[in-house]
Structures are given as structure tokens and as C-alpha cells.
A and B are shown apart, each in its own frame.
Chain A
Amino acid sequence: EAGVAQSPRYKIIEKRQSVAFWCNPISGHATLYWYQQILGQGPKLLIQFQNNGVVDDSQLPKDRFSAERLKGVDSTLKIQPAKLEDSAVYLCASSLAPSGTGQYNQPQHFGDGTRLSIL
């Protein structure tokens, strides 16, 4: 099966500019995640969608970050305006979402990420 697709792979912008990332999950995966991975750290969840609804965005800096998944498939993550501390790899992941507690033990499948550098 095709994996999680992300683009672009690399992006360099200046602070205060805006940037957008795109993700196409594995076909049939209802749950989609965006993570921020800062160098030397594990991924940190920014937002989780189930179909086109937001399940958890508690760690998303909503004053500058936004995300959408309008048709329950592809998703975009936007940063506007960018700050120096946003330099990181942004990972998209997807998983199946069976009913009941099974949704919480599904492995997540990750894309290769977008490496964002802020100058």
C-alpha cells in the first residue's frame, strides 16, 4: 500500500513569513495526526483529526498555527507568522480508527516529514 505522502520535504523561510505543509494519508485511514519534532526530541502532537473533525488540538499554538482536513482525506498545516522556534520537522501520520477502544492501540504510520528552517 502507498504510505503517507508529505510535501514539501524541505522549506526555508524568514521569520514572520507564512508556510503551508500538505499531507495525504494512507487510503482508508480515518485518523490523521500532525506532529512537531524538534531536533533531539520525540514528536509532539499538534493536532489530531478523525475524518474531518478535530479530536485534539490542545497543543496547537492557535495564534499562529492552523490545520484543516476539509474532505476527511488530505490535510494542510499552516504557520503564519513563523517564529524562529518553529524550526523543526513536521510529521504527518495516519491510522485506522475502529470503533471502541481499538482506536487507541492502532499503530501510526508516518510520512517522511517536512524539515522547516526559519532564518
Chain B
Amino acid sequence: AQSVAQPEDQVNVAEGNPLTVKCTYSVSGNPYLFWYVQYPNRGLQFLLKYITGDNLVKGSYGFEAEFNKSQTSFHLKKPSALVSDSALYFCAVRARISSGSARQLTFGSGTQLTVLP
């Protein structure tokens, strides 16, 4: 079964500093990988995805993520954090060749990012 691990429940970073939110995954075959952000009392918003090709993916609001196949990781990064980036971040995975339950998008448990002024 496919799975996603976000090892940190909480990440704190000072405004202006770089941020990293970690994600590792397990899936049969090659993955599609996604990052979503959730603000309080709102639904999830899509940030970026990895399909194939360049391991560094750029997304919305200055976020980027690096796909590392050997480490089965897809960490979210931003060079300079803003207070407005404070939110709950979810990593998600789906198998490239999808059948049965592998068709589902499997989410991690989320990482609460707090950017301190």
C-alpha cells in the first residue's frame, strides 16, 4: 500500500529565513507527488506537483520541491519565508500506473508551519 510520512508535526522558522517541510513516500513504481496547503477553516489548495523530468519543481507563492528518487523524498522548500506562509502543509502521493486503491491520492498527516515575525 502506498503511504506518505511527514516526520515533523510542527516547523517553526523566522521570517526571511529559508524553510523546509519534509516528506517521504512509499509507492509501487514511479510516483506522482503533490504538495497542498490548508489555511484555517478552508479547503486544501494545490501548490505544486512532480510528474517527471526535472527533479526541482517550482510552484505557487515562491515554493519549490525537490524530488529525490533514491531517498524517496519530496521536500518542500522556500528561500525566504513570509508570515503569511503560516499554514498546514500536506504532501500526497499517487502511483503513476494506477489501479485499485493505488488510484487514490494518499495524503500525509500534515506539517504545521509557523513563520515568526
Interface residues of A (CB under 8 A from B): 4, 40-45, 48, 55-56, 58-59, 91, 93, 101, 104-105, 107-113, 115
Contact = CB atoms under 8 A, between A and B. Distances in A.
Contacts of A40: 109-110
Interface of B: 4, 32, 34, 36, 41-46, 49, 51, 90, 92, 94-98, 100-101, 103-105, 107-110
B110 A41 contact: yes
A76 to B, nearest CB: 18
Contacts, number: 62
Nearest to B47: A107
Contact of B101 (A41, A58, A107, A111): A58
Contacts of B105: 45, 108
Contact of A105 (B45, B49, B110): B49
